[in-house]
Amino acid sequence: MDIKSVYKPILTSNSKPQKNFRRADYVYLDSAASTPLLVEARNVMEEYFFDNFANSSSAHAAGRNVKDAIEKARADIAACINAGNDEIIFTSGASESLNLAFLGYHRLACGRAEGKKVAVGAIEHHASLYPAMEVKKYGAVVAEVPPAADGALSPERLRDAAEKMGGLDFASFMLVNNETGVIQPVAELVGEARKYGACFLCDAVAAAGKIPIDVKKLGVDMLALSAHKFYGPKGCGILYVKRGTRLEPRTFGGGHEFGLRAGTLNTPAIMAAAEALKKAGEDFAAREKHCLLLKNYLYKKFEIFKENNIEIRYNSPGEKTVSSTVNVSFKNEQAERIVEYLSSKGIMISAGSACNSKNGARASHVIEAMGVPFEFAMGAVRISFGIYNELCDIDILTSAILSLLKK
């Protein structure tokens, strides 16, 4: 059965993958962890590795040329999220961006955290949760706000947390959950945080390229992105900082990035990140249709588990999630066992966040926070699609899981 794709010339089902589009000799269904580099982004990187390689801080003409290119990239990225050029800070990745935003915020930095009230989602990535725990060491009061059973946070739960703490100074909530793909009502959460005069940080790493991002519509004060999640290179993070939001540097040295982040800029990665983010916007509709086709096909194929008396539970409500991520639990199974078996068969999925997937056989903190029953929580896996996946990848995945669970 051949099905025409809106993103690639053809998606093939029940047959071998199309070699023209294969980027590795395995089936990769873990795009939420990382994505391959776009050809357009790679070409940009090569130019700035070999031709325009000068240090952007150098005073000579070669350095000024690179500086001008970086400022063009900054403007392009700003335009993609409806920000000002001077509101974009380049970092080494989302973890650095989130740490800078948390620990550099002027009301929490340098020992001023004592007594401050901080709210953070219980389903946040550890790059947000751990900085929250760090400010707690310095006397901040930290509340982890739990989601509803569908994985979504609510303004009401944020309000309850703020009332219990007696106020709110800083809030950190993600736009899309990296494990379940659930889209969070960030604009509504911002509205609630504003009632207390709180600064609002948003982790948008899992959202970039999956849903439109407009910092003005969201109303956030800071927002973090990571290039390798939207077909850019690893080692390049982006932090949006709204004008008037006071940050203090956590890395000291030169006066790079408006004095907030010392260190020579990673020019090739920055230029490639801008190219990849622009391409994500240009191709958004096509990618969305492509991933929806894959997602709906997966739901159809996974009916075979019920037919074989294998109980499954979807932890990603279809109407509230991005099209590229499905989190599904297999009852009384170990996620690690499934992931390892599939890996041995050349099929790559994950048991939650890649950053925390080797910390032992325990349920994901996201799945636990959602209240998923233990017999399902331990068997939760994440399947995430990318632009190079094909329908036959779902066939191969389904067949392999069924073979394992029927043994």
User: In terms of pLDDT, which residue wins out, 20 or 186?
Assistant: 186
Cα angle: 215, vertex 108, 196; to 5 degrees: 60
Instruction: List the structure tokens of 320.
Output: 């509230």
Query: Which pLDDT does position 109 carry in this prediction?
Result: 85
Whether residues 152 and 128 fall in one domain: yes
- Confidence at residue 11, expressed as pLDDT on a 0 to 100 scale: 53
Determine the Cα–Cα distance for residues 376 and 21; give it in Å rounded to an integer: 35
Tally of domains within the chain: 2
326 and 229 in a common domain: no
pLDDT at 44 over 50: yes
pLDDT of residue 4: 43
DSSP 247: B
Q: Phi, psi (5° rounding) for residue 383?
A: -115, 120
Same domain, 44 and 74: yes
Q: How far apart are CA 272 and CA 77, in angstroms?
A: 11
User: What integer pLDDT is reported at residue 258 of this predicted model?
Assistant: 85
DSSP 320: G
Residues serving a catalytic function are: 355
What CA–CA distance (Å, rounded) separates 343 from 350? 10
pLDDT band at 254, cuts 50/70/90? confident
Is 261 in the same domain as 235? Answer: yes
Residues near 278 by beta carbon (within 8 Å), at least 6 away in sequence:
76, 80
Average pLDDT over residues 267-294: 96
pTM for this entry: 0.92
Instruction: Examine the domain organization and report whether 379 and 320 are in the same domain.
Output: yes
Residues 221 and 347 in one domain: no
Residues 111 and 22 occupy one common structural domain: no
* pLDDT value at residue 8: 55
Range from 167-171, 185-189, 298-302, 319-323 carrying the lowest mean pLDDT: 319-323
Instruction: Please state, for a pLDDT cut of 70, what percent of the chain lies above it.
Output: 92
Answer with the one of 266, 282, 298 that is the final residue of a domain.
282
What is the per-residue pLDDT for 259? 81
Show which of 261, 282, 303 is a domain's final residue. Answer: 282
Are 191 and 312 found together in one domain?
A: no
- SS3 (DSSP) at 145: strand
Mean pLDDT (whole number) for 290-298? 96
Query: Which residue, of 240, 262, 282, is where some domain finishes?
Result: 282
Q: Is residue 9 scored above 70 in pLDDT?
A: no
* The pairing of beta strand 141-145 with beta strand 170-174: unpaired
User: CATH no. for residue 179?
Assistant: 3.40.640.10
Which residues neighbour 154 within 8 Å (Cβ) at sequence distance 6 or greater?
A: 148, 185, 188
Higher pLDDT, 359 or 364: 364
The answer to whether residues 96 and 46 belong to one domain is yes
- Shared domain for 200 and 336, answered yes or no, is no
Q: What is the pLDDT of residues 122-174, one digit of tens each?
A: 999 999 999 999 999 999 999 999 999 999 999 999 999 999 999 999 999 99
Range of the domain at 26: 2-37+284-405
Average pLDDT across the chain, whole number: 91
| 222 and 271, same domain (yes or no) | yes
Looking at the fold, whether 196 and 237 belong to one and the same domain comes out as yes
Joined tokens for residue 20: 């023209």
- The pLDDT of residue 24 is above 70: no
pLDDT the model gives residue 283 = 95
Over the stretch 55-83, which tens digit does the pLDDT of each residue have?
A: 998 999 999 999 999 999 999 999 999 99
C-alpha separations of 196 from 199, 244, 265 in Å = 9, 17, 37
